[in-house]
Amino acid sequence: MLAQEIIRTKRDGRALDAAQIEAFVKGLTDGSWSEGQVAALGMAVFLRGMGRDEAVLLTRAMMHSGRVMQWPGMPGPVLDKHSSGGVGDKVSLMLAPLVAACGGYVPMIAGRGLGHTGGTVDKLESIPGYTTTPDPAAFDRIVRTLGCAVIGQTADLAPADKRFYATRDVTATVESVPLITASILSKKLAAGLQGLAMDVKCGNGAFAATPAFARELAESIVAVATGAGLRTRALITDMNQILGTEVGNALEVLETIRYLRGEAREPRLHEVTLALAAEMLVIGNLAPDLSAARTQLQAALDSGAAAEKFAQMVVALGGPADLLDAPAKHLPAAPVVVPVPAPRSGVLTGMATRDLGLLIVEMGGGRRVAGARIDMRVGFSAVRPVGSACQAGEPIAFVHAADKPQAERAVASYLAATQWGDEPPPSTPLVLAEVG
């Protein structure tokens, strides 16, 4: 079956059948489709769309392009969470050990940065020694003994998606509901899950910029997952500002450590973490309702059980044993740190969150081309949230840069991405809707 004829079918707006989708996925896996052909079909789908049946076929084909995990004899439910991507979204890093501390088993197959959003795998790779590609036996053992392991896609797990994902990242074909759905669920289904909580970000820092797009994506994921036998709930959450106070790979690991240790828990970050983790506990029958689940989760945080799970996971995957006690000793730090001064006295009324995510990429904290190396040190810290009242010159964030010229450019770009006024903007609920 000729690749160009499959591309032509979708280019002309017709639905792909099972044989065409299987041929595409085979071409992704064995390399018989060139990068140009993969990009062309991605763009055709982006422009022409895909029906629900096509999305299911693509999801299943990519799921079966490699190994499909099984978890026989697991003493608790196998659960996971996924986010559609945001700026400063490090929820997966704290949520996996938190759910594990409450009796769940979380074999989290995470992704790298995509477009303007950061990637969980990239963040973890800022930890010296941490391997995001353990062999299958080690991954199985760690999940069974500790309750959680957060890794990247191995070569044998949904390999078709891994290649397609990298191509989409650099060809402006990210914001496609069927492609996002198939990418997320092919990995999750291949991980052998029994339940999934989905975080669909919505706002100016999300792929889903509008509530309508976010709901379309949430409903697509829930429908396709449910059709494949995976119990799934989706939350649509606000992404009109940076989540948490730190952005950038090593900085977000540092914020995770402070969160788990109880040293600092930014309210919005804490709320979305608890909301998603509570859904997972209820889906897995580890709690009778969301209220009881939240009580369990808070207890796991307050007792230090979640922090201990994170520490054990880091060691099991090759990281330093004293990371939680001495993060500055291990995490890479930028040589230049400068404040971003408030341009006037008043209230921070908004931020162009996507622009700030792209700024991280421009600083080297994300990829311009597939496979590019990342500067783990760069980013922003002590980010002031929307609604903050500031005096002129007061820091609204700190830029962590590779050198002074980069820092100066980043300060100017950061300020250009902020809006100011004299009155606080209307408050927005963090969880905008629930689906499933």
Q: Which of 290, 354, 309 is nearest to 115 (CA)?
A: 354
Query: Exactly one of 10, 60, 81, 268 is catalytic; which is it?
Result: 81
Q: Is 26 among the residues known to form the active site? A: no
DSSP annotation of 117 reads: B
**C-alpha span between 319 and 140 (Å, rounded):** 18
In the set 162, 163, 188, 367, the catalytic residue is 188
Q: Find the catalytic residue in 60, 123, 168, 233.
A: 168
Is residue 120 part of the annotated active site? The answer reads yes
Catalytic residue from among 60, 82, 116, 265? 82
Active-site hit among 123, 187, 201, 330? 187
Reduced to 3 states (helix: H, G, I; strand: E, B; else coil), residue 150 is: strand
What is the Cα–Cα distance from 172 to 215, expressed in whole angstroms?
21
Catalytic residue among 29, 154, 183, 413: 183
The one catalytic residue among 59, 84, 120, 126: 120
Catalytic: 256?
Answer: no
CB contact at 8 A, 264 and 400: no
162 catalytic per annotation: no
Active site residue 183: yes
* Dihedral pair phi/psi, residue 6, rounded to 5°: -65, -45
**Exposure on the CB side of residue 12, measured as CA atoms within 13 A:** 8
SS3 199: strand
Quote the CA–CA distance of 143 and 334 in Å, as a whole number: 33
Is 80 in the active site? Answer: yes
Residue 65 is a catalytic residue: no
188 is catalytic: yes
Q: In sequence order, what are the beta bridge partners of 348?
A: 420
Residue type, 100: A
Q: If DSSP codes are grouped into helix, strand and coil, which group holds residue 400?
A: strand
- 325 in catalytic set: no
The residues annotated with a catalytic role in the active site are 80-83, 120, 168, 183, 187-188
